[in-house]
Amino acid sequence: MKAQLLVPLCLAVPLAAAETSLVLRADQPGATVRPEVYGHFAEHLGRCIYGGIWVGEDSEIPNTRGIRKDTVEALRQLDIPVLRWPGGCFADEYHWKDGIGPRSERPAMINTHWGGVVENNHFGTHEFMDLVGQLGCEAYICGNVGSGTPQEMMEWVEYLTSAAESPMANLRRENGRDEPWVVKYFGVGNESWGCGGNMRPEYYADLYRRFNTFVKNYDRDHPVGRFACGANGRDFNWTEVMMERVGPRRMDGLSLHWYTLPTGDWGRKGSSTDFGEDEWWSTLARTLEMEEIIGTHSAIMDKHDPDKRVGLIVDEWGTWYDPLPGTNPGFLEQQNSLRDAIVAGLNFHIFHAHAERVTMANIAQTVNVLQAMILTDGPQMVRTPTYWVFEMFKGHQGGQVIPLELETGSHALGDREIPQVSASATRDPESGAILLSLVNTSPTEGSEVACGVAGLAAKELSGRLLTAGEITAINTFDAPETVKPVAFEGARLDGANLSIDLPARSVVTLEIR
């Protein structure tokens, strides 16, 4: 498989060459990278919400109305654009009225999907919208189709967004919120092909049409964007059925879920901490399958929606390993290593390359679950290597994609070729500055990158580097800065040309002005 799956006009040559040629066509800016591509996902799962985000107003952990201050401050540094909630599988057993009113009077429920623990519903609609306000991001709420009703969904949207003198708006006022909120995105069910109801696409398409009818726009100045449940990985028939039977006028987005498993075996996914170069390479090979998956779904959508009105919403993605030993297996706790940072960089480059169709992506998950940004333990908090990729790449948000020509080495793994260097560049439409991000997938070999920039008289260059001495390097509460960005001194600017000494197993960002 050729490396052109990563960026346009990319060729693979033997890895031993350790040389990379790159040309940035800054005079040919393309589609805009929507900020929502850097979105996040927080489900009522394990310690994501309770402990990671919500500690309660009486907690000794510093909080604002029960929400952890350190988590909010860390996420705000990422310019977090959107947060998806309450699930995930949890969404289709969640009844929103259980999560409003005095917390002491809210009924508890069993979280049947994730560990069988009791959910006390102390974090509900008001708490989530408070979190969104503290983060300064948009809300993406996922409604209950699997065990809910159209009336329940309709009333939730009214409760959230209506300013009228109406039953649900008045109920919101009774619970302490006079003005309606703005909810920019609403998902009509989650994984309806699986935990959301085990439906066939034909059945879900009809059900979506019914439920969507009752997702009303109570505020004409702030219409709700409606997302339909899309495919599981390579279920291309699901996308075909949805585009044909629902069509581009009844939905604003169609979701896609794809997780990276080192082994590809859900029964034995692999360890997040104990792995060698074989699982390093297999993990990267599987994450690069995102290119083929997005490309094929996009082609199907293009048939029915040539104007690209419907966004492809990759609202669950990331690495999924076996749970950490000694933890509740239903809590999906895993560590986060340099390998995960490389995975994040590769996926963002794929999303950028499909910016015309991919309008949102939400990594799973924000805190303490799967490929998390943040890990907490009581009052302690640590930023993961993946967090730092989001922080380094945030300048891509809203940028115009710059076409690339890339020739790089590759690593053969079975019938796949894994490019040594992956690259993406965007141009700030206001300042004209270019942000170039580079990922070196090789765990052992650096690469000399010769880069030309067409269409920009470059005068200034600054860079940052994320790497570590070992591929298994992690950040812990005792050593929180093992994997953290540092200034990058390995790039030199000579007119319109750059020479870059790209270290092994690294993520680099360069700002070119």
Question: How far from chain centre, in Å, is Cα 107?
Answer: 31
Q: Is 60 a catalytic residue?
A: no
* Secondary structure of residue 155 in the 3-state scheme: helix
Q: Is 240 a catalytic residue?
A: no
Nearest to 68 by CA among 84, 83, 52, 79: 52
According to DSSP, the β-strands at 19-25 and 225-232 are unpaired
Read off the pTM. 0.94
Kindly provide the b/e burial profile for residues 406-419, where b requires at least 16 CB atoms within 10 angstroms of the residue's own CB.
Answer: bbbbbbeeeebbbb
**Do 192 and 146 form a contact (C-beta atoms < 8 A)?**
yes
Question: Catalytic: which of 127, 155, 316, 333?
Answer: 316
Question: Catalytic: which of 191, 289, 333, 391?
Answer: 191
One pLDDT digit (tens) per residue for the chain, 513 residues: 223 333 333 433 333 445 899 999 998 889 999 999 999 999 999 999 999 999 999 999 999 999 999 999 999 999 999 999 999 999 999 999 999 999 999 999 999 999 999 999 999 999 999 999 999 999 999 999 999 999 999 999 999 999 999 999 999 999 999 999 999 999 999 999 999 999 999 999 999 999 999 999 999 999 999 999 999 999 999 999 999 999 999 999 999 999 999 999 999 999 999 999 999 999 999 999 999 999 999 999 999 999 999 999 999 999 999 999 999 999 999 999 999 999 999 999 999 999 999 999 999 999 999 999 999 999 999 999 999 999 999 999 999 999 999 999 999 988 889 999 999 999 999 999 999 999 999 999 999 999 999 888 778 999 999 999 999 999 999 999 999 999 999 999 988 899 999 999 999 999 999
Four-residue CA torsion sign, 447, 450, 455, 458: positive
Rounded to the nearest 5°, which phi and psi values hold at 431?
Answer: -85, -20
What are the structural domains of the chain?
A: 3-30+401-512 (2.60.40.1180), 35-397 (3.20.20.80)
